[in-house]
Structure 1
């Protein structure tokens, strides 16, 4: 393994924050379309019929389908840039304190793709990076990271439940139940993305401050 080299996380951090904002916007768009579809299902269950109701239903369904595509694209783009940022700050943290890490730097990427261990390894890598990046005199607690990770895991399970309910939904009642579960999953995902923004901003700022505190590392900011 090559020696760790300090590189600025600022550009990747800003790009990650911007894309996480896009994820939040996509989730809010999806929530709006789910509300529209829930209203259509309510109309059907209340006996409201007719051409106008049919048009509303078709429009709501088309928007909901579009929101799913937007969410997928936003998630893919964000995942790529986030992983680049995550690996960058992990390598930087090794320069700051190599003894702080319980996982090798390869886990900064691999931990997200390994089944089962991806439920806790990325959090461990984040916490090690967090601690190594902080100044000893001003080391923050893990509350923000733990809150983000907990909400992220909960959102993943909520999405799995929503997918299962939607696949077995029958009739207006079943579809309305599935839509409500999707709405909850999207709301949790949006909240997790907001906390991820705070983690990225905080960790990037911690590394910047750590560099500025040591004249040996000043040139790494670029």
Structure 2
């Protein structure tokens, strides 16, 4: 059940208000609601805000580089796949050694480029995500179910990394939504966030299965099927990178506009200390 006033956060009081709306109405029940979620927000301070724009630009550039690396990997994989498929003769593999060496070097180089761009992108993305999470604590400390440290830590929890980072991002998205009135927000559909995360999770699951199948491939036909799966996985990588750019740009823009209004609630008042 969502708050009866703002309609964006879960209701946690007897009168169907969320913690923020209860506080802005002069009640201390909002603080009790925060305690029930396990998150005790600190007093928001505008001097804690730091612009995420520079980091967002760096993330988008690196995501673009990762997308290019994915395209090159797909092309190299298709070339290798065609070479192998054409070289299969009655179950035996007959491939020109020189052509195979070139294809193998190209495929290996594309994979190395993918790994390098992924590592660089992951590091800068995590720094950006932590930055927007800290900003979101200023905008609305009651919109989160996980503490700021989970913006990075959630990615390193086995299996949990398929869900925990989304919970962090969802809270940041809610807190960064534009404010129209005291205790209210304009609509901020989570389409970019949901689309990116759905493709990202699919990519991770396919990647784990593809790695096992490729490692067990022995015959020429099995190797060709493995290359098909790797190409499909690379295509998911490419889609995830493009959707991540849209997500990063949208959320950064929301925070930039939100910062112009100051801490929640809108206006000169701030949440009381507790």
Q: CA RMSD in A?
A: 2.1
Q: Distance in 2 between matches of 1:112 and 1:38?
A: 33
Of the two structures, which has the highest relative contact order with CA contacts closer than 8 Å and spacing of 6 or more?
A: 1
Tell me the number of residue pairs that the alignment of Structure 1 and Structure 2 aligns.
215
Deviations 1:13-57 (A, max 9, x none): 00000001111111111101100111111111258957xx33221
Gaps of 5+ in 2: 1-40, 181-185, 265-274
1:16 matched to 2:59? The reply is: yes
Q: Which residue number in structure 2 is paired with residue 213 of structure 1?
A: 261
Deviations 1:172-222 (A, max 9, x none): 211101000000000001101110000000000000011123499xxxxxx
Post-superposition offset of 1:165: 1.3
Aligned partners of 1:131 and 1:139 also within 8 Å: no
Q: Which residue number in structure 1 is paired with residue 148 of structure 2?
A: 105
Q: Distance in 2 between matches of 1:91 and 1:133?
A: 11
Q: Which residue number in structure 1 is paired with residue 234 of structure 2?
A: 186
Q: Which residue number in structure 2 is paired with residue 220 of structure 1?
A: none
Post-superposition offset of 1:68: 1.2
Q: Which residue number in structure 1 is paired with residue 250 of structure 2?
A: 202
Considering fraction of residues, name the structure with more helix: 1
Q: Distance in 2 between matches of 1:38 and 1:215?
A: 55
Q: Which residue number in structure 2 is paired with residue 219 of structure 1?
A: none
Q: Which residue number in structure 1 is paired with residue 107 of structure 2?
A: 64
SS at match of 1:197: helix
Aligned partners of 2:139 and 2:262 also within 8 Å: no
Q: Within 5 A, what are the aligned runs for 1:51-200? A: 53-137=96-180, 138-200=186-248
Q: Distance in 2 between matches of 1:139 and 1:82?
A: 26
Aligned partners of 1:44 and 1:172 also within 8 Å: no
SS at match of 1:140: coil
Gaps of 5+ in 1: 217-222
Q: Distance in 2 between matches of 1:10 and 1:3?
A: 24
Q: Which runs of 4+ in 1 moved over 4 A?
A: 1-4, 46-50
Q: TM-score when scaled to structure 2? A: 0.74
Deviations 1:129-164 (A, max 9, x none): 001001134331122211111110111111112111
